[in-house]
Structure 1
Amino acid sequence: MRVPALFAATVSELRKALAEQGFGIMTEIDMRATLRAKLDIRMDEYLILGACNPVLAQRALAADPRVGLLLPCNVVVRTDDDTTLVEAADPVLLLCGELLHRTDQPELHAVAREARERLSAALETVEKRLPETK
């Protein structure tokens, strides 16, 4: 999703929207700072948020402990020219592609669909709330 808002405002609204959908941020990776510090590479703002909904995570892990390989759900916020991009990994594609084709766990399908719906709702909320600030 592309929004015409500043990076910091987008990150702030994304955090709120994810929390409203039951997600907490377990990890945060500032790729811009990391690549600059480690490789002296300059790049646009790029943040990876590892979002986790504990209820969904517990349900998925109870169904199949291998799900831990795919947790948390990554959401990326990055600048692109004069806009900010927000992108989220699709839990259904991740689980179905990596795990579910090897197991018949209906609960994993249900959890993946609910996680997808909640992430999509969070992104839609961000898009609606952000005024045009660029």
Structure 2
Amino acid sequence: MTYYHHTVLSDLTFEEAVKTTTEALKKEGFGILSEIDIKATLKKKLNVDFHNYKILGACNPDFAHKALLAEDKIGTMLPCNVILQEKEKGFIEVAAVDPMASMQAVINKDLMGIADDVSEKLKRVIDDIHHNH
């Protein structure tokens, strides 16, 4: 099975996990461009109860710039999404996209090196959450 994400489980509260993930991303040069609260959106739009689930749209400006210079349509795959979900109380899953998986769809050798660098940074984010909490 090919994985398209890096994942870790945490015993932090959901709010603590969002904060910790945001801080770990910042240490690797990522900012959060968007935050989508899936639970709140589904409740508002469909009146459906759903578990805690947030999508953080993370961007490392240096790598985004390099990727855009190498491939002008790559913005369709930006930013890098990181999800946090709590299917069971007290068990938070944090998963970050592996850009190497998505970049395989784009035939551009210059992007593979950039995607590899971003993938390593996102792996470090997940490792940071795992080792420090």
> Quick check: TM above 0.5?
yes
User: SS at 1:13's partner residue?
Assistant: helix
Q: Is the 8 A contact 1:49 1:75 kept in 2?
A: yes
Unaligned ranges ≥5, structure 2: 1-7
TM-score, length basis structure 1: 0.90
Alignment partner for residue 17 of structure 2, among 10, 20, 33?
Answer: 10
1:122 matched residue in structure 2: 125
- What RMSD, in angstroms, separates the aligned Cα atoms of the two structures? 0.9
Between Structure 1 and Structure 2, which shows a larger proportion of helix residues? 1
Distance 2:129 2:95 in 1: 12
TM-score, length basis structure 2: 0.90
User: SS at 1:112's partner residue?
Assistant: helix
Q: CA deviation at 1:39?
A: 0.6
Unaligned ranges ≥5, structure 1: none
Q: CA deviation at 1:56?
A: 0.3
* Aligned sequence identity (%): 34
Aligned length: 125
Distance 2:130 2:17 in 1: 9
Q: Is the 8 A contact 1:14 1:126 kept in 2?
A: yes
Where do 1:73-84 residues align within 5 Å? 73-82=80-89, 83-84=91-92
Q: After the TM superposition, which parts of structure 1 deviate over 3 Å for at least 4 consecutive aligned residues?
A: none
